[in-house]
Amino acid sequence: MVNFILIFLILNILFLLLLFKQYRLIDIYDHPDTILKKHENSMPVFGGILFYGNFIIFYLIDIMYFDYFFNNLNRFSLIFLISSTGILIMGLLDDKYNFTPIKKVFIILIFSTILIFSNPNLLITTLDLDLLSTIELNNYSFLFTIMCVFIFINAYNMLDGVDLNIAFYNFFLLIFFFYKSNYNFIFLTFIIANSFFLALNFFKRSYFGNNGAYFFSFIISILSILYFNSSENVNEEDLVLVMLFPVIELIRLFISRVAINKSPFAGDNNHFHHISVKYFGRVWGIVFCQILIALPLLCDYLFKLNMWFNILIFLVLYLSSFYYFKFLLLNKSE
């Protein structure tokens, strides 16, 4: 493992030096607009490129030497590469040209469908949740699986928009899956890549961008289903709890936007991390978000609480915190 880490540390340093030197060839920046994007300068957005570069290196080395994940070059590994590349390109084009929501939905569904059809282990066929009898999905397996991938990809995007928030959530997911997968090196690869992104984001040298958000959430959603179906270490409750925060955030934002006759796909500054950072400040606002994100899983592991009780506790804390902070900020501004 030590040699693996050293190799990828060196490769990431070289890759980033090349990326900064040649970034004019990519020429994709997040420009301030004083409305939603209030940063001072135009910022390069290459989170997805950084993760994709690590993914490609791991992919090639794994197929040729390691056999940690891909084992060999087969139909699934090839389609996985093609689909993830397609999602990255969509994210890059969206960062540059601002695709319509319908176009992004179509592209995500196409690549997700192709990949899921390539591997039977990507179909969620049964669900076994606390207090409920086993649910056999049968003919609805494909539809349910696609829906799960699509919802998580869109929910994950709800966490982007404030420095460090997405990087810390990435660590939360990656460390969880690294442990649950018996330390599979594909997650270690992304942990190393995320460490570099965290440093870049902290020093305001790069944003994750839509290319990063779509690529990473697509990869994680696929890997989570694979390990859910192939490993006894990952169960339904685990996945619900580690992905609970962004999904609830997605639902709340969808309802709140529709309630004021606004498009559910329209951006705003009504995200939990926006309110938390305004109330606590840049660092402690993100810390509070991450505590809330990790709380359901921590309660599950420390106190062995029922999943539904965990969700209830989270919902109470999430909603009460959000509206309390918002109320205080509103009164303060008046």
Specify the DSSP element, H or E, that contains 331. helix 307-333
On the question of pLDDT at 57 being above 90, the answer is yes
Could you give the angle at the alpha carbon of 235 between the alpha carbons of 122 and 157, nearest 5°? 65
Our CA dihedral for 155, 268, 204, 186, rounded to 10 degrees, sits at 10
- What pTM was estimated for this model as a whole? 0.94
Average pLDDT along the chain: 92
Domain ranges of the chain: 2-234
pLDDT above 70 for 247: yes
pLDDT value of residue 130: 83
Residue 134 burial by Cβ neighbours in a 10 Å radius (0-12, 13-18, 19+): exposed
Is pLDDT above 90 for 32?
Answer: no
Instruction: Reply yes or no on whether the pLDDT at 127 is more than 80.
Output: yes
Residue 183 dihedral angles phi and psi, to the nearest 5°: 65, 45
User: 268-281 b/e with 16+ CB inside 10 Å = b?
Assistant: eeebbbbbbbbbee
- Please say if the pLDDT value at position 272 is more than 70: yes
- pLDDT tens for each residue of 274-330: 999 999 998 999 999 999 999 999 999 998 889 999 999 999 999 999 999 999 988
In this predicted structure, what is the pLDDT of residue 318?
96
Percentage above 90 pLDDT, the chain = 75
